[in-house]
Amino acid sequence: MRITDDRYTRDRLRLDLALRLIRHEARTRTIRSWTGLTDDRIRKLYRSYVADAGHRDVRRHRGKSPRQSAFFMRNASIRREAAGLATLLCVLGLLKRDGGTLPGALEQLRFGENFCEAYETFLSLNERPQISFEHACHLLRSLEKQNEICLDDCEGCGSLLVIMRYAERPKVCEFCASSRPPARPGLSVGDC
């Protein structure tokens, strides 16, 4: 009986998570690895979600996931978004730098739910976010590996910064940079 209950709960969690991922336009590959559902099952879920529920604006992405970490440095607003999202991932305990042991099926589902929670919070805080769900996954993976990007603290306010590991690091976050007057060398207070 217990086994049946557990299996039912897991199947329910699997389907709920898959639908949540479809809504976020996650790639089939991501949905498959996070939920353990087959491609066929995902295709059917996607079809019924889009066709039956009238969500025709949801797109299905089949190609490769984003791999460019430089994307997160592209402009000030993406840098601000990346810092905010990284903070949420840290707060929700999703960023594990040691890699840890391979999660079981249920842990994997819980991870997926928490990640969706982080991304949905991120969406609610940004009016027109440029970081897609798959970019958010890439941000997490890259911050875990720390090959190209890593975290640092802003010297102005102490908030988290996402920086390129081998490039010159910015001293302050985008918020501090935009709220501080630019330095004007050679001009003292007495000159004004």
Give the residues lining the site for Zn ion (CB under 5 A): 154, 156-157, 172-173, 176
Could you tell me which of 16, 24, 13 has the C-alpha nearest to residue 120?
24
Residue 178 beta carbon to Zn ion: minimum distance, rounded to whole angstroms: 10
Which CB sits closer to Zn ion, 14 or 79? Answer: 79
Residue 179 beta carbon to Zn ion: minimum distance, rounded to whole angstroms: 8
Residues paired with residue 152 on neighbouring β-strands, in sequence order: 161
Residue 83 beta carbon to Zn ion: minimum distance, rounded to whole angstroms: 9
Q: Is residue 168 helix, strand or coil?
A: coil
Residue 56 beta carbon to Zn ion: minimum distance, rounded to whole angstroms: 41
Residues paired with residue 151 on neighbouring β-strands, in sequence order: 162
H or E segment at 160?
Answer: strand 160-164
Which CB sits closer to Zn ion, 50 or 177? Answer: 177
Which CB sits closer to Zn ion, 17 or 88? Answer: 88
Q: Which 8-state DSSP code applies to residue 11? A: H
Which CB sits closer to Zn ion, 164 or 172? Answer: 172
Angle at 183 between CA 179 and CA 187, to 5 degrees: 135
Residue 71 beta carbon to Zn ion: minimum distance, rounded to whole angstroms: 22
Could you tell me which of 150, 176, 146, 148 has the C-alpha nearest to residue 161?
150
Q: Which 8-state DSSP code applies to residue 153? A: E
Which CB sits closer to Zn ion, 84 or 129? Answer: 84
